[in-house]
């Protein structure tokens, strides 16, 4: 690879939370989270990427059981604007997205392609936080199924990230890798085989009406309040597991994630702990540029948001600073 084609890479991974702006976690927690988000935003602003690759999940808004791929790259995408996030078209560079898909297929990764990808807060919220909107920067969205069972082994997610990293490494651009999701949290969403017929219809192929979406968002808000009061059947947060994740990311020992059993992980971290897959993919992509240095690593359990909230930023070691 010549110097002219070598990309500059940076990473920012963060949790997303539907209740981020609507549920009050208390002044001290809000200040800690806001400070960490501001630090991440300043890091990204300083790096000033000309392309963003965002790895993120979906919550049965754009991808449903009528056809649920493990991975999908959007060549065009629209954000629905749920939970107060921005709505509208993402600025997807189609030719680059096409080329990425071809490269991933050549790498023996069976990724799906979408000319009409629909993304929810799982992808749009970090774009809002970091850039002020979902269309502010050219972005390629990479969907990673992290919610709909069955889920594949984590080694496949790591390999996806590595293949993306090898591709971006030859672009000659400033590329920000974003991983959205996690950490430990259990969500009030039924499993397909245990759901009522009406709930199952939403998981399979039924789109919510605006009124139904509003009702759903209110139900999630109430679930957060019950969880914070200790009156919820949802699994407790697992800060120990979250810190283990953050340690592995800081150390760069990403193959350790290959050892995690998917079922065990859900038992320890909740039904949506699997969103850590986005972080694994993003870090694996960064690691293709060589050893990296974690510049910031933040964690805060927030029961009011039903999540162990985390943020990391990183650069290749030769660019990292203390």
Domain boundaries along the sequence of the chain? 3-316
CATH for the stretch 3-316: 3.40.830.10
In terms of DSSP bridges, do strands 8-14 and 307-316 run parallel, antiparallel, or are they unpaired? antiparallel
Q: Is the peptide bond before 183 cis (omega within 30 degrees of 0)?
A: yes
Identify the burial level of 226 via C-beta atoms within 10 angstroms of its C-beta, where 0-12 means exposed, 13-18 middle and 19 or more buried.
middle
DSSP lists the bridge partners of residue 144 as 71
CB atoms within 10 A of CB 7: 19
Distance CA 179, CA 163 (A): 15
Catalytic residue among 185, 202, 274, 299: 185
Task: Identify the CA nearest to 248 among candidates 283, 298, 285.
Answer: 283
299 is catalytic: no
Tell me the backbone φ, ψ of residue 191, rounded to 5 degrees: -75, 150
Task: Identify the CA nearest to 237 among candidates 179, 160, 304.
Answer: 304
Contact 57, 180 (CB under 8 A): yes
Q: Which pLDDT score is estimated for 6?
A: 61
Contact 299, 183 (CB under 8 A): yes
DSSP lists the bridge partners of residue 79 as 88, 119
CA 136 to chain centre: 18
Contact 120, 80 (CB under 8 A): yes
Q: What is the pTM of this model?
A: 0.95
pLDDT digits (tens, 9 = 90+) for 66-104: 999 999 999 999 999 999 999 999 999 999 999 999 999
CA atoms within 13 A on the CB side of 276: 31
Name 117's Cβ contacts closer than 8 Å, sequence gap at least 6: 62, 72, 74, 75, 76, 77, 78, 141, 143
pLDDT digits (tens, 9 = 90+) for 114-134: 999 999 999 999 999 999 999
Distance CA 88, CA 107 (A): 32
Tell me the backbone φ, ψ of residue 291, rounded to 5 degrees: -55, 145
Taking all residues of the chain, what is their mean pLDDT, rounded to a whole number?
Answer: 93
pLDDT digits (tens, 9 = 90+) for 257-282: 999 999 999 999 999 999 999 999 99
Mean pLDDT of 201-222: 89
185 is catalytic: yes
Catalytic residue among 16, 59, 121, 283: 121
Q: What are the DSSP calls for 226-256, one per residue?
A: HHHTT--SSPPP-HHHHHHHHHHHHHT-GGG
């Amino acid at each position: 690879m010549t110097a002219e084609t070598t990309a500059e890479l940076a990473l920012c991974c963060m949790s997303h939370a539907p209740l981020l702006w609507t549920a009050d976690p208390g002044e001290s927690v809000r200040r800690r989270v806001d400070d960490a988000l501001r630090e991440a935003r300043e890091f990204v602003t300083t790096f000033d990427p000309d392309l963003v690759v965002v790895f993120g999940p979906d919550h049965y808004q754009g991808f449903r059981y009528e056809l649920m791929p493990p991975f999908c790259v959007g060549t065009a995408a629209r954000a629905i604007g749920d939970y107060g996030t921005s709505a509208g078209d993402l600025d997807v560079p189609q030719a680059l997205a096409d080329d990425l898909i071809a490269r991933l297929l050549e790498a023996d990764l069976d990724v799906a392609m979408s000319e009409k990808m629909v993304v929810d807060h799982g992808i749009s919220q970090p774009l809002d936080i970091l850039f002020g909107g979902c269309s502010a920067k050219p972005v390629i969205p990479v969907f990673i199924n992290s919610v709909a069972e069955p889920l594949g082994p984590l080694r496949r997610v790591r390999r996806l990230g590595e293949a993306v990293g090898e591709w971006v490494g030859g672009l000659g651009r400033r590329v920000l890798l974003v991983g959205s999701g996690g950490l430990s949290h259990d969500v009030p969403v039924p499993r397909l085989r245990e759901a009522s017929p009406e709930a199952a219809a939403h998981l399979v192929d039924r789109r919510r009406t605006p009124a139904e979406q509003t009702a759903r968002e209110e139900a999630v808000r109430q679930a957060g309040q019950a969880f914070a009061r200790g009156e919820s059947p949802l699994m407790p947060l697992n800060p120990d597991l979250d810190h283990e994740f953050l340690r592995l990311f800081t150390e760069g020992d990403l193959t350790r994630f290959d050892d995690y059993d998917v079922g065990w992980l859900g038992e320890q971290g909740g039904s949506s702990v699997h969103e850590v897959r986005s972080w694994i993919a993003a870090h694996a992509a960064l690691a293709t540029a060589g050893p990296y240095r974690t510049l910031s690593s933040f964690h805060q359990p927030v029961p009011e948001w039903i999540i162990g909230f985390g943020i990391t930023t990183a650069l290749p070691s030769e660019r990292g600073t203390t």
